[in-house]
């Protein structure tokens, strides 16, 4: 488990009170940021809609009443108790700043989830290990993960189910100054992965394809996607696996694409939910609406320019992409696709792989791993 390295100075308050106070301060801060982002995003979308008719009297009237509504919209601040109750009733989701997750962010920021009647609280993590930790500690009900990590969690007494599947494309990229042009040149090279995950699986597949032993490549565990990208670009790593948009950023910065999982099987990247949440009727309804909002956002991304134009902002805020690259990365990103159902054949493949590494405990069965929902 990841340890907290912040100061542990003694306090007169008991530990539970200090933790609750800290979480409440953090929650207030995040709520303020969230409200500001929601208002800004909706302002852009609504103003863009009014601008199309601004030459007419109706267009000017639209903008006038819109600004009048904004100026008069002043609700009393909720109490700490009310905020705690809302947070407890909300659906908490752990995501990574990758293209698969962007529709979740857009559905939340543009009011799709509010219209559907579900309060979604998103927590963003750069590393899959951090998502595993927050999921195991019960801080979230839903998380972006993969089938290998889900099996490891199940075996570690965290009861989760894979409820949806993503494209999950990964690219193997080498530094521009390296002379690695073929897969068999990776022998005795360092390939950055996240251990016992989808990146680790594909690194094994590559060694099998290149006809050398799995132990012939060194696999340092670099969980944080931003650090992994920067280590590639400064030549610290010989090769790294990256999802979008980090893969496109690495290519824009002059590095070389050596391999891609595009259109390959199995599809291991998944959305997982705790069994406790799935057993609760209210939570189950919230999760259904979470998936429905995702698909609505995907449709808007395909048909609405104003929504697509919000991608650069996500790149800056979530992926920490340099401002000079956001527009070019937005144009390079593959199209967004609706959420899919996890397949039993993919589960069988990942179980076979983990068993080859002696990571399947005796008596474990993955029969209950997937529980597809209808968005």
* Strands 120-124 and 91-95, sheet pairing: parallel
Identify which has the larger pLDDT, 260 or 57. 260
Q: What is the pLDDT of residue 28?
A: 45
- Give mean pLDDT, residues 289-304: 94
Query: What is the helix (H) or strand (E) element at residue 24, kind and residue range?
Result: helix 15-51
Whether residue 94 is found in the same domain as residue 118: yes
Q: What is the pLDDT of residue 303?
A: 86
pLDDT of 180 strictly over 50: yes
- Give mean pLDDT, residues 353-367: 91
Could you read off the pLDDT of 36-90 as tens digits, one per residue? 555 555 544 444 444 444 444 555 565 566 565 555 555 677 776 666 666 778 9
- Give mean pLDDT, residues 185-204: 91
Identify which has the larger pLDDT, 184 or 49. 184
Q: Which of 201, 235, 260 is the last residue of a domain?
A: 260
pLDDT of 4 strictly over 60: no
Structure tokens at 82: 């009310």
- Give mean pLDDT, residues 247-267: 92
CA dihedral 212, 216, 222, 227 (to 10 degrees): -80
Identify which has the larger pLDDT, 25 or 339. 339
- Give mean pLDDT, residues 347-354: 95
Could you read off the pLDDT of 109-121 as tens digits, one per residue? 999 999 999 999 9
Q: What is the pLDDT of residue 47?
A: 47
Average pLDDT, the chain: 83
Whether residue 174 is found in the same domain as residue 231: yes
Q: What is the pLDDT of residue 307?
A: 81
Q: Which of 244, 260, 276 is the last residue of a domain?
A: 260
| Coil/strand/helix, residue 65 | helix
Q: What is the pLDDT of residue 26?
A: 46
CA 137 to CA 85: how far, in whole Å? 20
Q: What share of the chain is helix, strand, coil (3-state, %, to 5)?
A: 50, 15, 35
In terms of pTM, does the model score above 0.85? no
Whether residue 67 is found in the same domain as residue 163: yes
Q: Which of 260, 284, 314 is the last residue of a domain?
A: 260
Q: Which residues contact 189 (CB under 8 A, 6 or more apart)?
A: 180, 217, 218, 238, 239
Whether residue 174 is found in the same domain as residue 162: no
Question: CATH code at 28?
Answer: 3.40.190.10
Q: What is the pLDDT of residue 176?
A: 86
pLDDT band at 21 (very low <50, low <70, confident <90, very high): very low
Count: domains in the chain: 2
Q: What is the pLDDT of residue 79?
A: 78
Whether residue 286 is found in the same domain as residue 210: no
Tokens 């947070």 -> residue: 87
Q: What is the pLDDT of residue 99?
A: 95
pLDDT of 133 strictly over 60: yes
Q: End-to-end distance of the chain based on CA atoms, in angstroms?
A: 33
Whether residue 67 is found in the same domain as residue 194: no
Please indicate, yes or no, if residue 362 is contained in any of the structural domains.
no
Please indicate, yes or no, if residue 115 is contained in any of the structural domains.
yes
Identify which has the larger pLDDT, 21 or 337. 337
- Give mean pLDDT, residues 183-190: 85
pLDDT band at 177 (very low <50, low <70, confident <90, very high): confident
Please indicate, yes or no, if residue 368 is contained in any of the structural domains.
no
Whether residue 291 is found in the same domain as residue 256: no
Whether residue 36 is found in the same domain as residue 81: yes
pLDDT of 175 strictly over 50: yes
Whether 256 contacts 181, CB under 8 Å: yes
Whether residue 228 is found in the same domain as residue 333: no
Whether residue 131 is found in the same domain as residue 238: no
pLDDT band at 314 (very low <50, low <70, confident <90, very high): very high
Please indicate, yes or no, if residue 22 is contained in any of the structural domains.
yes
Domain coverage including residue 32: 15-167+268-356
Please indicate, yes or no, if residue 43 is contained in any of the structural domains.
yes
pLDDT band at 8 (very low <50, low <70, confident <90, very high): very low
Whether residue 148 is found in the same domain as residue 206: no
- Give mean pLDDT, residues 339-348: 94
- Which of 125-129, 181-185, 306-310 has the weakest average pLDDT? 181-185
Q: What is the pLDDT of residue 209?
A: 81
Whether residue 49 is found in the same domain as residue 60: yes
Identify which has the larger pLDDT, 25 or 333. 333
Q: What is the pLDDT of residue 183?
A: 79
């Amino acid at each position: 488990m990841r340890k907290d390295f912040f100061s542990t100075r003694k306090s007169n308050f008991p530990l539970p009170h200090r933790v609750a106070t800290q979480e409440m301060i953090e929650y207030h801060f995040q709520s303020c940021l969230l409200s500001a982002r929601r208002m800004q995003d909706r302002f852009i979308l609504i103003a863009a809609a009014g601008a199309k008719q601004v030459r007419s009297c109706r267009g000017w009237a639209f903008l006038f009443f819109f600004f009048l509504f904004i100026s008069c919209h002043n609700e009393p601040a909720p109490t700490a108790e009310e905020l705690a109750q809302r947070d407890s009733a909300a659906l908490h989701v752990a995501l990574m700043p990758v293209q698969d997750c962007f529709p979740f962010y857009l559905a939340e920021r543009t009011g799709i989830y509010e219209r559907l009647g579900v309060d979604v609280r998103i927590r963003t993590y750069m590393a899959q290990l951090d998502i595993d930790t927050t999921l195991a500690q019960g801080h979230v009900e839903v998380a972006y993960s993969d089938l290998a990590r889900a099996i490891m969690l199940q075996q570690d007494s965290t009861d989760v189910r894979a409820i949806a599947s993503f494209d999950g494309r990964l690219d193997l990229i080498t530094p521009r100054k390296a002379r690695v042009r073929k897969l068999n040149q990776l022998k005795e090279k360092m390939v950055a992965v996240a251990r016992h995950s989808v990146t680790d699986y594909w690194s094994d597949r590559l060694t099998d394809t290149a006809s050398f032993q799995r132990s012939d490549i060194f696999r340092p565990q670099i969980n944080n996607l931003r650090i992994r990208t920067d280590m590639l670009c400064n030549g610290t790593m010989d090769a790294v696996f990256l999802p979008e948009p980090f893969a496109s950023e690495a290519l824009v910065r002059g590095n070389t694409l050596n391999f891609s999982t595009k259109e390959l099987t199995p599809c291991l990247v998944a959305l997982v939910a705790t069994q406790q949440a799935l057993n609760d009727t209210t939570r189950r309804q919230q999760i259904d609406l979470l998936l429905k909002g995702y698909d609505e956002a995907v449709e808007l991304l395909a048909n609405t320019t104003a929504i697509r134009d919000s991608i650069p902002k996500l790149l800056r805020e979530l992926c920490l992409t340099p401002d000079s690259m956001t527009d070019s990365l937005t144009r390079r990103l593959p199209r967004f696709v609706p959420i899919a159902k996890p397949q039993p054949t993919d589960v069988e493949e990942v179980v076979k792989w983990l068993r080859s590494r002696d990571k399947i405990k005796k008596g474990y069965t993955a029969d209950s791993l997937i529980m597809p929902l209808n968005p």
